[in-house]
Amino acid sequence: MIRTCFLFLVSICALSAQPAYDLLLKGGHVIDPKNGVSKVMDVAIAGGKIARVAENIPASQAKTVADVSGLYVTPGLIDIHVHVYAGTGRKALTGDSSVYPDGFSFRTGVTTMVDAGTAGWRNFPDFRERVIDRARTRVLALLNIVGGGMGPDGEDNPRDMDPEAAAKMAKSHPEIVVGFKTAHFNGEGWPSIDHAVQAGKLTDLPVMVDFGYITKERNLTTLLGDKLRPGDIYTHCYSGHREELLESGKLNPAMEVGRKRGIFFDVGHGAGSFYWYVAIPAYQQKFPPDSISTDLHTGSMNAGMKDMVNVMSKVLNLGSSMEDVIRMSTWNPAKQIKRPQLGHLDVGAGADVTVLRLDRGNFGFIDSAGARSGGTRMLDCEMTIRAGRVVWDLNGRAAQDWKNFQYRKRPRPDKK
């Protein structure tokens, strides 16, 4: 009995000697818009979760301490418009024009990506098996209302738009599917919008709209004033392709009407959907976006768009504050896709965290047409933490010096 008690005491002592936290991000400026935080604080992570956010958490309480002073510490970024249905061999967005999520997410601070309708209600299981379930990035999806998604057959065939089938597929994958998407429609009438909204109604999920090609009948006034529901998302809000900005230079009044009705406006930069001649007047007329997203695909990433932090830098230079830019890329998109467990640093939340560096100088930013606008501030990603693990560390802030590092010899793989 005495011996048991003694062992018990010894094990308690051993436990208390162990650092409480796996990782401590020390000295950074924390911006956590959901919790109204914007000040220098430390963030402690344990067991893959946010354990504590406070001033002056002792370094001795953590196994690893990363000095992030002079940098911004934010919730892991959420990019709600990407195309990541890669690897099928097709010459379409459902293939060669998509990218694999992990190759582009962490290096730019993104921990959650939402595929915006690359797969439709019919080919979603293939997308999930091929990409989503194999990625370390959290990948969620908006299901295209067209069964084949953004495949070689295009998105104009109303007979392939099936709200019941889309709703059924969404309900069988509730942990991944966060809504529906319609895009690129160039047919007659409103079938793409009406069917997508119907799928949204059947599931109580939002619809993201790329409004395709407008006609006299199919215009922004009817879309934003009547067809879409509060909570639906209008992406490509600075494209100008759908008269977002009128020829007079005034913002289309339908945009304000939509905002008042509770429709969200998303950047969706892409290769053809963000232009300075639209974004700058829109900002001057006090119309910032609700969410920042990239519309990442092979056509946009090497052109003006580049990556999430570049698009965030553009919004910063347009005149939004750092706090608003972080809100637009964390808590706002989390709310838009109805995932309130994401996009903040609540104690107990999954530890998805991004560390950003804000450089000051003379920079240039390119829009989808290739036109440049100068700016004085540029964000870059220093560190990304996904579920408590460091998955991107530009300057080795969480790494050990090589002189103290315990190198191990590479084992020889077993011969088959």
Q: Smaller CB distance to Zn ion: residue 148 or 281?
A: 148
Q: Smallest distance, Å, CB 233 to Zn ion? A: 12
Beta bridge partners of 43: 25, 53
Contact 296, 99 (CB under 8 A): yes
Q: Smaller CB distance to Zn ion: residue 59 or 369?
A: 369
Q: Smallest distance, Å, CB 81 to Zn ion? A: 6
Q: Which residues contact 61 (CB under 8 A, 6 or more apart)?
A: 19, 20, 21, 24, 44
Q: Smaller CB distance to Zn ion: residue 156 or 393?
A: 156
Q: Smallest distance, Å, CB 295 to Zn ion? A: 4
Q: Smallest distance, Å, CB 228 to Zn ion? A: 18
3-class secondary-structure state, position 128: helix
Cα distances (Å, whole numbers) of residue 357 to 115, 307, 379: 27, 15, 6
**Tokens, residue 29:** 């400026």
Q: Smallest distance, Å, CB 8 to Zn ion? A: 59
Q: Smaller CB distance to Zn ion: residue 57 or 311?
A: 311
Its sign, for the CA torsion 115, 265, 260, 317, is: positive
Asked if residue 102 binds Zn ion (CB under 5 A), the reply is no
Beta bridge partners of 378: 359
What is the spatial distance between Cα 64 and Cα 173, in angstroms, rounded to a whole number? 37
Among the candidate windows 164-172, 212-220, 289-297, 360-368, which touches Zn ion by CB under 5 A?
Answer: 289-297
**Tokens, residue 404:** 């103290």
In terms of phi and psi (left: phi > 0; alpha: psi -120 to 50; beta: otherwise), the region of 343 is: left
Contact pick of 295, 307, 352, 382 for Zn ion (by CB under 5 A): 295
Q: Smaller CB distance to Zn ion: residue 118 or 137?
A: 118
- Measured from each CB, the residue nearest to Zn ion is 295
Cα distances (Å, whole numbers) of residue 64 to 14, 170, 381, 390, 400: 18, 40, 20, 11, 9
State which of positions 105-124 bind Zn ion (CB under 5 A). Answer: 116
Q: Smallest distance, Å, CB 271 to Zn ion? A: 9
Q: Smallest distance, Å, CB 141 to Zn ion? A: 13
Interacting residues toward Zn ion by CB under 5 A = 116, 295
